[in-house]
C-alpha cells in the first residue's frame, strides 16, 4: 500500500515537473517572439511617421534617453529617436503616454520636426473601445493625420483642443474623451519640445541597451 502511494506521488511529481518546465519554456520563447514583434512594429511605426526622403539614418538605432516628464506623460526614462539627414538633425520622435484615455493609457509615437511642427502621430497601443475611441488608430480612420504640420504657432493655445471644448480638432460621434486625451498629449509634446529643444539638439545620439 505504502509502495503504491509512493509510486503515485513520484508519478505526480514527475508530471508536475514536466508541466512546469513546459510552461516556463513556452513563456521564454513567447517573450522573445513578443520582443521581436514589438521591435518590428516600432520600426514600422517610426518609418510611417516620417517621409523617407526627409532622413537617411537608421531611426531605431538612434535612440536617446529622455528623463520622465509630466508633459510626455512618462514616469520612467523613455526613448526618443532622432532623424538625421547628412548628419543634420531633422526631427525627434518621442514615446508619449496619454494617461487619460477612456480605458486607460494610450501609447503614442509623436514626431516633431526641429522647427517645432508635427511630422506625424501614431497610436502604438491602446484599450479604447472598438467603434468609439479606436478611431485614433490609423488603421481605423485618418483622424490621427490631422496633426501633421501643426505647431504651437499654427494653432493658438485654445485651438489645441477638440471642437466640443472650443478647439480645432474633431471629436468622434459619442466619444470625446479619447480624442481629447490625444490632442492634449500632442499639444504637451510640442510644449516639451519647445522647452527642451536646445538640450535635445545637443544630445549625442548613442544606442541605448534594450533594457533601458
Ligand atoms: C461601453 C462604453 C464605451 C465607451 N468607450 C468610449 C471610448 O473608448 N472613448 C470615448 O471617448 N468615449 C467612450 N464612451 C463614451 C463616454 O462615456 C462619453 O460619453 C463620451 O466620451 C463623451 O462624448 P460626447 O460628449 O461626444 O458624448 C463609451 C461609453 C460606453 C457606454
Same domain, 177 and 88: yes
Same domain, 127 and 143: yes
**CA 150–ligand 1 middle distance (angstroms):** 26
Q: What is the pLDDT of residue 204?
A: 56
The CA-to-CA distance between both ends of the chain, in Å, stands at: 57
Domain assignment present for residue 211? The answer is: no
Q: Environment class of residue 137 by beta-carbon count within 10 Å: exposed (0-12), middle (13-18) or buried (19+)?
A: middle
Q: Give the total number of structural domains in the chain.
A: 2
**Percentage of residues in the chain having pLDDT higher than 90:** 71
Q: Given a cut of 80, is residue 20 above it in pLDDT?
A: yes
**CA 168–ligand 1 middle distance (angstroms):** 20
Domain assignment present for residue 210? The answer is: no
Same domain, 61 and 77: yes
174 ligand 1 Cβ < 6 A: yes
Same domain, 126 and 60: yes
Q: Residue whose CA is closest, atom 28 of ligand 1?
A: 175
pLDDT digits (tens, 9 = 90+) for 166-189: 999 999 999 999 999 999 999 999
pLDDT digits (tens, 9 = 90+) for 31-82: 887 777 777 888 888 888 999 999 999 998 899 999 999 999 999 999 999 9
Same domain, 125 and 91: yes
Domain span holding position 82: 52-202
Residue whose grid cell is 477638440: 162
Amino acid at each position: 500500500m505504502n509502495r503504491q502511494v509512493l509510486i503515485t506521488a513520484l508519478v505526480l511529481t514527475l508530471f508536475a515537473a514536466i508541466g512546469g518546465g513546459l510552461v516556463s519554456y513556452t513563456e521564454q520563447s513567447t517573450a522573445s517572439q513578443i520582443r521581436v514583434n514589438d521591435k518590428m512594429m516600432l520600426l514600422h511605426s517610426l518609418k510611417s511617421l516620417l517621409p523617407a526622403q526627409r532622413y537617411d539614418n537608421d531611426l531605431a538605432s538612434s535612440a536617446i534617453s529622455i528623463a520622465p516628464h509630466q508633459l510626455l506623460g512618462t514616469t520612467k526614462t523613455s526613448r526618443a529617436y532622432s532623424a538625421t539627414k547628412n548628419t543634420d538633425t531633422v526631427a525627434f520622435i518621442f514615446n508619449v503616454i496619454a494617461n487619460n484615455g477612456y480605458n486607460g493609457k494610450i501609447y503614442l509615437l509623436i514626431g516633431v520636426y526641429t522647427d517645432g511642427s508635427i511630422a506625424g502621430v501614431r497610436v502604438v497601443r491602446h484599450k479604447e473601445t472598438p467603434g468609439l475611441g479606436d478611431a485614433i488608430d490609423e488603421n481605423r480612420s485618418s483622424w490621427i493625420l490631422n496633426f501633421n504640420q501643426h505647431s504651437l504657432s499654427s494653432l493658438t493655445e485654445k485651438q489645441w483642443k477638440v471642437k466640443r471644448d472650443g478647439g480645432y480638432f474633431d471629436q468622434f460621434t459619442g466619444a470625446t474623451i479619447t480624442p481629447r486625451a490625444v490632442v492634449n498629449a500632442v499639444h504637451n509634446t510640442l510644449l516639451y519640445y519647445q522647452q527642451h529643444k536646445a538640450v535635445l539638439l545637443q544630445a549625442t545620439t548613442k544606442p541605448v541597451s534594450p533594457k533601458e
